[in-house]
Amino acid sequence: MLQDNVNYRIPFEQNNKSYMFGMSGLFIFFLLSILFAVCIGTVNIQPEKAYQIILYKLFHLSFGDNLKQIPLTHFDIIWQIRFPRVLMAVIVGVGLALCGTVMQSSVQNPLADPYILGISAGASLGATLSILLSSYGIFSEFGTSFWAFAGALAASFLVMILSGIGGKSSAVKMILSGIIANALFSAFTSFIIYMANNAEGIRTVTFWTMGSLASAKWSNLTLPAIGVVGCTLFFLSQARNLNTMLLGEEAATTLGVDLIKLRRNNIIVTALLTGLIVASCGIIGFVGLIIPHIVRGFVGSDHRKLLPAAILSGALFLTWADVLARTALSSGELPIGIITALIGAPFLMHIMIKSAFGFGDK
Q: What is the CATH number of the domain that holds 136?
A: 1.10.3470.10
Q: Which among 77, 55, 82, 79 is positioned nearest to 66, based on CA atoms?
A: 55
Please check whether residue 318 lies inside any domain of the structure.
yes
Rounded to whole angstroms, the Cα distance separating 333 from 344 reads 19
Domain that holds residue 250: 71-354
Task: Report phi then psi at 44, rounded to 5.
Answer: -80, 135
Question: Does pTM surpass 0.85?
Answer: yes
Please check whether residue 26 lies inside any domain of the structure.
no
Please check whether residue 328 lies inside any domain of the structure.
yes
**Contacts with 283 (C-beta within 8 Å, 6 or more apart), sequence order:** 115, 120, 123, 124, 208, 209, 210, 211, 337
Report pLDDT for 1.
41
Q: Are 268 and 176 in contact (CB under 8 A)?
A: no
Please check whether residue 34 lies inside any domain of the structure.
no
Report pLDDT for 355.
60
Rounded to whole angstroms, the Cα distance separating 322 from 336 reads 6
Q: Are 231 and 95 in contact (CB under 8 A)?
A: yes
What's 70's DSSP letter?
S
Q: Kindly write down the DSSP assignment for every residue of 86-121, as one continuous string.
A: HHHHHHHHHHHHHHHHHHHHHTT-TT--TTTTSHHH
Please check whether residue 20 lies inside any domain of the structure.
no
Please check whether residue 97 lies inside any domain of the structure.
yes
Sign of CA dihedral 288, 293, 299, 303: positive
Please check whether residue 202 lies inside any domain of the structure.
yes
Report pLDDT for 32.
95
Q: Are 89 and 318 in contact (CB under 8 A)?
A: yes
**Other beta carbons less than 10 A from residue 134's beta carbon:** 16
Helix (H) or strand (E) holding 32: helix 2-37
Report pLDDT for 362.
44
Rounded to whole angstroms, the Cα distance separating 101 from 106 reads 9
How many domains does the chain contain in total? 1
Task: Report phi then psi at 172, rounded to 5.
Answer: -65, -45
Rounded to whole angstroms, the Cα distance separating 50 from 207 reads 30
- Encode the chain (362 residues) as per-residue pLDDT tens digits: 434 443 434 444 557 889 999 999 999 999 999 999 999 988 899 999 999 999 989 988 776 677 778 888 999 999 999 999 999 999 999 999 999 999 998 888 777 888 888 888 898 898 888 888 776 666 666 778 888 888 888 888 898 888 888 777 777 888 888 899 999 999 999 998 888 888 888 888 888 888 889 889 999 999 999 999 999 999 999 999 899 888 877 777 777 778 888 888 888 898 889 988 988 898 998 999 999 999 998 999 999 999 999 999 999 999 999 999 999 888 788 899 999 999 888 887 877 777 655 554 54
Exposed/middle/buried for 25, CB within 10 Å: 0-12, 13-18, 19+?
Answer: exposed
Report pLDDT for 85.
96
Please check whether residue 295 lies inside any domain of the structure.
yes
